[in-house]
Amino acid sequence: MIHSSLTQLGAALRAKKISSVELTQSYLDRINQLNPQLNAFITLNPEMSLAQAREADTRFASGKVGALTGIPIAQKDIFCAKGWLTTCGSKMLHNFVSPYDAHVISQFNNAGAVNLGKTNMDEFAMGSSNETSHYGAVKNPWDTARVPGGSSGGTAAAVAARLCAAATGTDTGGSIRQPAALCGISGLKPTYGVVSRYGMIAFASSLDQAGPMGRNAEDLALMMNVMAGFDERDSTSLQRDKEDYTRDLNKPLTGLRIGLPKEFFAEGMGADVAKAVEAAIAEYKKLGAVIVDISLPNSKLSVPVYYVLAPAEASSNLSRFDGVRYGYRAPEYGDLADMYEKSRAQGFGAEVKRRIMIGTYVLSHGYYDAYYLQAQKIRRLIAQDFTEAYKQCDVIMGPTSPSTAFQLGEKGDDPVQMYLSDIYTIAVNLAGLPGMSIPCGFGANDMPVGLQIIGNYFDEARMLNVAHQFQLATDWHSRAPKL
Partner 1 sequence: MQWEIVIGLEVHTQLSTNTKIFSGASTAFGAEPNTQADAVSIALPGVLPVLNKGAVERAIKFGLATGSHIAPRSVFARKNYFYPDLPKGYQISQFDLPVVGKGALTIQVEPLSGNAKPYEKTVRITRAHLEEDAGKSVHGDSQGVTGIDLNRAGTPLLEIVSEPDMSSAAEAVAYAKALHTLVRWIGICDGNMQEGSFRCDVNVSVRKPGQPLGTRREIKNLNSFKFMQQAIDYEVQWQIDTIENGGKVQQATILFNPDTGETRAMRSKEDAHDYRYFPDPDLLPLEISPEWIEQVRATLPELPQAKQARYVNDLGLSAYDASLLTASREMADFFEAALSAVPSQAKICANWMIGEVSAQLNRDGLDMAQCPITAQQLGGMLARIADGTISNSGAKDVFRTMWAEGGSADAIIEAKGLKQVSDSGAIEALVDEIIAGNAEKVAEYRSGKDKLFGFFVGLAMKASKGKANPAQLNDILKKKLEG
Write out the residues near partner 1 by the rule CB under 8 A.
79-80, 86, 88, 93, 96, 98-100, 102, 197-202, 204-206, 232-236, 312-313, 315-316, 318-322, 324-326, 336, 340, 360, 363-365, 368, 372
Main-chain phi, psi angles of 43, to 5 degrees: -130, 130
User: Which residue type does 203 have?
Assistant: F
Beta strands in 358-447 (DSSP E): 395-399, 435-442
Dist CA 151 CA 401 (whole Å): 14
Contact status, residue 404 vs residue 443, Cβ threshold 8 Å: yes
Residue among 153 and 199 whose Cβ is closer to partner 1 = 199
Dist CA 345 CA 329 (whole Å): 10
The sign one gets for the Cα dihedral 165, 77, 427, 229 is positive
Give the bridge partners for 82, in sequence order.
none
The sign one gets for the Cα dihedral 338, 339, 344, 347 is positive
**Angle (nearest 5°) at CA 452 between 417 and 273:** 60
Contact status, residue 451 vs residue 443, Cβ threshold 8 Å: no
Question: Closest approach of Cβ 234 to partner 1, in Å?
Answer: 5
Please indicate whether residue 342 is annotated as part of the active site. no
From 4, 20, 76, 437, the catalytic residue: 76
Give the bridge partners for 206, in sequence order.
none
The closest alpha carbon to 6, from 82, 104, 116, belongs to 116
Main-chain phi, psi angles of 279, to 5 degrees: -65, -40
Which letter, b or e, does each residue of 276-306 get, where b requires 16 or more Cβ atoms within 10 Å of its Cβ? bbeebbebbeeeebebeebebebbebbbebb
How many CA atoms within 13 Å lie on the side-chain side of 199?
Answer: 25
**Angle (nearest 5°) at CA 249 between 78 and 103:** 25
Dist CA 270 CA 305 (whole Å): 24
**Angle (nearest 5°) at CA 379 between 375 and 381:** 120
Main-chain phi, psi angles of 42, to 5 degrees: -90, -45
Give the bridge partners for 399, in sequence order.
451
From 5, 128, 175, 315, the catalytic residue: 175
Dist CA 292 CA 393 (whole Å): 7
User: Which residue type does 32 have?
Assistant: N
The closest alpha carbon to 463, from 217, 180, 242, 227, belongs to 217
Residue among 195 and 423 whose Cβ is closer to partner 1 = 195
Dist CA 216 CA 445 (whole Å): 23
From 5, 49, 98, 151, the catalytic residue: 151
Contact status, residue 176 vs residue 213, Cβ threshold 8 Å: yes
CA distances from 364 to 298, 301, 316, 321 (A): 26, 22, 12, 20
Please indicate whether residue 235 is annotated as part of the active site. no
Please indicate whether residue 151 is annotated as part of the active site. yes
